[in-house]
Amino acid sequence: MVPVPVETKITTATKVDGVICHGMCRIMAKFLNGKALPDCAEGKGLPDWAKEEAMQYFRENLTLDDKFHSNWSRMRTELCLAHFRRLIDGWYPGNKDFWKQCRDFCKEWAGWQSGPPLCRPLSAGRLNNYLTHLARGTDMQEVIPSQEMLAAAGRFGIRISDIRLTSDSIFQFCRAWTGLDWRAGSATDPCPWPVPEAFDGLLCSWKLLAQARGHNRIYLNPPWSHMDSWLEKAALEYATGLQILIVVPRWTEESCISTLTSAQYSLRFVSRPLALKTRRIWDAEFAHPTSGKAMAPLDVTLIWMV
């Protein structure tokens, strides 16, 4: 008997959640029959721990929430993750076709080609920078979180990845844009690292903190997994007359501005109107809290509450 090609087998109409589905079959056929990514020579690609790190980063930062919770959507999610893993498995420094592979991935999973988007669009350049950073190797200080980081994450209910230090290049950008110095000594950070014992930036007065240091500015690099609480606090403190500069992920820019606006509106008897300016930084570098080395670049937005 002549074997039936995978395409013919998979594109047969199949019921998913009781509905005859051809689209999912097409996705599976493309995934299984797609051109295999080039195998990396031994030692040329990423080590296993780096691949797992990249997968975790993708799950936590680039995937979108499943709003349907159906067998169909769960199957698509698994295929999306498997496709990204293939992308990572096939990556190596200097891969000239990597941008094409990212483009094909985005067509399938970041648009509406096979259904609702499951992830944010990938930037081939930024993903390549991130994977190159992993390929260079990371010392054990970065692979294994310190006890101080674990304690802070447990105490505030945040992720380990929320703990990042602002690099000097970001402060230089802030000064060039605003004309003001936002480093320690010229501005107060209510999310300091290391965190002093018994200190909680959400429970103290930022106005008093700034006054104690002789200025009236707040630089806020909040934990991104608990953004809303810090934005609402920022709106409350802004009403006291502070200038506040906030660093947020680029992909949350609109929702962060909406949260600030709503929080300000809820303070009905505050006479100070909300004035915001924004500026984006592509490939912003943060420093690792333990090693001090540059972390993988991130796209961020600066929100200046003037």
| Amino acid identity, position 256 | C
Report the mean per-residue pLDDT for the chain: 84
Look at the chain and count its residues: 306
- 251 φ, ψ to 5°? -75, -5
**With 70 as the cut, is the pLDDT of residue 2 above it?**
no
**With 90 as the cut, is the pLDDT of residue 192 above it?**
yes
- 30 φ, ψ to 5°? -65, -40
Q: How far apart are CA 118 and CA 104, in angstroms?
A: 14
Q: What are the residue ranges spanned by the domains of the chain?
A: 6-135, 158-305
Q: Tell me the pTM.
A: 0.64
For residues 182-206, average pLDDT: 95
**With 60 as the cut, is the pLDDT of residue 147 above it?**
yes
63 in Cβ contact with 54 (< 8 Å): no
Beta bridge mates, 276: 305
Q: How far apart are CA 105 and CA 94, in angstroms?
A: 19
Residue 204, H or E segment:
none
**With 50 as the cut, is the pLDDT of residue 5 above it?**
no
212 in Cβ contact with 269 (< 8 Å): no
62 in Cβ contact with 126 (< 8 Å): no
Neighbours of 162 (CB within 10 A): 19
pLDDT at position 49 is: 83
Write out pLDDT tens, residues 20-30: 444 555 555 55
DSSP of 269-290 = T--S---EEEEEEEEE-EE-TT
**Sorting pLDDT into bands at 50, 70 and 90, what band is 202?**
very high
Q: How far apart are CA 214 and CA 28, in angstroms?
A: 62
For residues 75-86, average pLDDT: 92
* Torsion sign (Cα): 250, 127, 102, 21: negative
For residues 158-167, average pLDDT: 91
Token digits of residue 239: 């009403």
- Tokens 């959507």: give the residue: 73
